[in-house]
Structure 1
Amino acid sequence: MADLFDKAKNFVADKVAHIKKPEATITDVDLKGVSRDGITYTAMVSVDNPYSRSIPICEISYTLKSANRVIASGTVPDPGSLAGNEKTMLNVPLKVAHSILVSLVKDIGADWDIDYLLEIGLIVDLPIIGNFTIPISTTGEIKLPTLSDLWKKNEE
């Protein structure tokens, strides 16, 4: 009896492992705005849904690291759903406090940008499987706003 149970468990595990799952990539990280509280960046995430039905997104969690330190982290609760058989673009706001930027002076001073590692966990509710986290990460450089950028933002 135990042998039959193990075979059934292995069969189900094998089938679940080969089910198509949504795939996601970070396409861009860009400056969104500057305020008294800090600088807001936006990460553009492209998600491809292989299913004909929409899939609800439970939550998006993110961690932005620079110089081996976390400079921003948080969650976006209930960001909507992924359209069926389509690519959906998601905007993930990343807020970095000015005080954190001051602590990164060595990295910033060299080239006026932040070398970063962005990790995003996109939690979706898949049929049969349940909550499934799609891990996404990327590295790059974020240019800091110059004084002229601040003036342009105030004029708009």
Structure 2
Amino acid sequence: MSQLLNKAKNFVVENVANVKKPEATINDVDFKRVSGDSVEYLAKVSVTNPYGHPIPICEISYTLKSAGRVIASGTVPDPGSLKASDTTMLEVPVKVAHSIMVSLAKDVCADGDIDYELDLGITIDLPIIGNFTIPLSTKGEVKLPTLSDMF
């Protein structure tokens, strides 16, 4: 009896490991707007759903780093769901406080942009498997807002 249970357990583990999962890509990170207390950037993410039914997104978590330190982090709770058998475009707003932007002045003054590393985690609710997080990471440079962007 225990051999039968072990075979069943191994069968389930192997098949769950080989289940198709949604895939995601960070397409762009760009300046969005300046507000009274922060500068907002927007990460555009495309997520492909291989299933014939929508999949709920539990949350999107993010961490934005520059000059080796975290300058913004947070979550986007309940951002909707992934379209069935399609690609869904997600927009993740990332707010960086003005006080942190000032502390990055050394990097900014050198070349007029911010070198960044963005880590995202898209947590979705897969049937049978449960919550599954798609980890994403990208590095790049994002331009600082100009005076015309502020007014």
Q: How many residues align?
A: 151
Give the residue type in structure 2 aligned to 1:135. Answer: P
Structure 2 residue identity aligned to 1:90: L
Counterpart for residue 143 of structure 1: 143
Residue equivalent to 1:106:
106
Give the letter aligned to residue 137 of structure 1. S
CA distance in 2, matches of 1:10, 1:105: 55
C-alpha RMSD over aligned residues: 1.1
8 Å CA contact 2:33, 2:149 repeated in 1: no
Structure 2 match to 1:83: 83
**Structure 2: tracts of 5 or more residues without a match:** none
Query: Equivalences for 1:2-151 in 2 at 5 Å?
Result: 2-150=2-150
Query: CA deviation digits over 1:6-49, x for unaligned, max 9?
Result: 33222211101110000000001111110111100110010000
Q: Secondary structure at the match of 2:27?
A: strand
Corresponding letter in the other structure for 1:110: A
In the alignment, is the contact (CA less than 8 A) between 2:47 and 2:89 conserved in 1?
yes
CA distance in 1, matches of 2:66, 2:2: 51
Deviates more, 1:9-18 or 1:83-92: 9-18
TM-score, structure 2 length as denominator?
0.95
TM-score, normalisation: structure 1: 0.92
* Matched letter for residue 45 of structure 1: V
SS at match of 2:12: helix
1:102 is paired with a residue whose SS is helix
Distance 1:148 1:33 in 2: 11
